Structure 1
Amino acid sequence: MQVKTRFVDTGCDWTKPIYVSENDVLSDETARAILAHNKAGAAQCGWKPAAKK
């Protein structure tokens, strides 16, 4: 009997981009972390920039 393992990546199901408003005050480190998170999500999950209002 041959057992097949199926791997399902659900990381994109529970992660979302981080949005900041113009009024938010961020440290440089926090801004870099948010940018890295959003770039990774764009690359791995296909996130698109939010439409401007």
Structure 2
Amino acid sequence: MVYVPKVTDTACDWTKPIYVDKADVLTNETAQAILSHNRTGAKVCGWKPKAK
């Protein structure tokens, strides 16, 4: 008998979007990392833009 492990992805349970405040000062690299994180979360977890 071959044991096949079951993988359960729980990332959407504990990750959240990163919001930036007007007072935040970001490097281009940090801004790109936040954008990448938020786009991935929108695609994988169904995150929606924050209502204003």
Shift of 1:7: 3.0
* 2:11 pairs with 1:7: no
* 2:12 pairs with 1:16: no
* Matched letter for residue 24 of structure 2: D
* 1: CA distance, partners of 2:31 / 2:4: 43
The answer for the alignment partner of 2:28 in structure 1 is: 28
> What CA RMSD, in Å, does the superposition of the two structures yield over aligned residues?
1.5
Structure 2 unaligned residues grouped into runs of 5+: none
The answer for the alignment partner of 1:45 in structure 2 is: 45
**Secondary structure, counterpart of 1:13 in structure 2:** helix
Structure 1 unaligned residues grouped into runs of 5+: none
* Matched letter for residue 47 of structure 1: W
Structure 2-normalised TM-score? 0.86
Name the count of aligned residue pairs. Answer: 52
Same amino acid, percent of matched pairs: 63
* Matched letter for residue 48 of structure 2: K
After superposition, the C-alpha distances for 1:1-50 in whole angstroms (9 at most, x for unaligned) are: 7x675432101001000001011000000000000000000000000000
